[in-house]
């Protein structure tokens, strides 16, 4: 169980637990003017619930694993925004929707060539054989409205591949934030906002999580203040 300031995530039936990646994406994605948001691979429902806290939008979370989907539904119902969150147990590659979304958020599976975990649910959540980059981009192209956004968090070393694949599918990077755990560390993650359509040059920034081990940076505090119990305010 993971407690946030305004909600709690139960996760014993979820292959992927609450982690920094999902929390950062849920707090970073620009959803301020959205009416409809889709969370692809919603897992425990973390990002869907964070999105509901940060907006007035109606949110759909799609999760392929039935146990995780059931727990996401329970977590959403227990939150203050359950009436605006719908959880669907489905493969996003087979999901059909007649009304386009203003934004899609996803903490996607991205391990391409590493040894798979014997736990099939965890492998599905972690490895991109369940949802390759090209397939996710195609879903975004089909499900987003014109000018809609896809926000993801991925390893920094595959950023170029994802940006290239996005261009093939009619999306382009508009905003990128490289995440460093400490000031002297190389970025291991990057938050990317893709927009449906052509955009010239992405706005690029850095986010340092901690000034020293255990001491959040001012930028991290500002981003996560509304969620993390250990950040005052």
- List, run by run, the mean pLDDT of 10-residue segments along the chain (233 residues): 97 94 98 96 97 98 97 98 98 91 92 44 45 93 96 96 95 97 97 89 96 96 97 89
Spatial CB neighbours of 79, under 8 Å, sequence gap ≥ 6: 6, 7, 49, 52, 53, 85
Q: What local confidence, expressed as pLDDT, does residue 111 receive?
A: 45
Q: What local confidence, expressed as pLDDT, does residue 193 receive?
A: 98
Q: What local confidence, expressed as pLDDT, does residue 199 receive?
A: 72
Ordered by where they begin, the domains of the chain are: 2-224 (3.40.50.150)
Q: What local confidence, expressed as pLDDT, does residue 110 receive?
A: 64
């Amino acid at each position: 169980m993971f407690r946030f300031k305004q909600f709690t995530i139960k996760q014993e039936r979820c292959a992927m637990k609450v982690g920094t990646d999902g929390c950062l994406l849920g707090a970073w994605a620009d959803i301020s003017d959205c009416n409809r948001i889709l969370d692809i691979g919603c897992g425990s429902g973390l990002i869907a619930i964070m999105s509901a806290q940060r907006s007035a939008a109606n949110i759909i979370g799609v999760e392929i694993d039935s146990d995780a989907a059931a727990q996401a539904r329970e977590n959403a119902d227990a939150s203050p925004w359950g009436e605006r969150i719908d959880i669907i147990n489905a493969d996003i590659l087979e999901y059909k929707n007649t009304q386009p979304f203003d934004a899609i958020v996803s903490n996607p599976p991205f391990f391409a060539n590493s040894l798979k975990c014997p736990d099939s649910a965890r492998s599905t959540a972690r490895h991109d054989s369940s949802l390759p980059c090209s397939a996710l981009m195609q879903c975004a192209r089909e499900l987003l409205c014109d000018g809609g956004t896809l926000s993801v968090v991925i390893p920094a070393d595959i950023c170029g591949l994802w940006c290239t694949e996005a261009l093939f599918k009619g999306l382009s990077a508009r905003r990128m934030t490289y995440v460093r755990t400490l000031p002297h560390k190389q970025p291991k993650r990057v938050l990317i906002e893709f927009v449906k359509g052509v955009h010239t040059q992405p706005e690029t920034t850095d986010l340092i999580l901690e000034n020293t081990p255990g001491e959040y940076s001012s930028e991290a505090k500002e981003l996560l203040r509304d969620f993390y119990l250990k950040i005052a305010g």
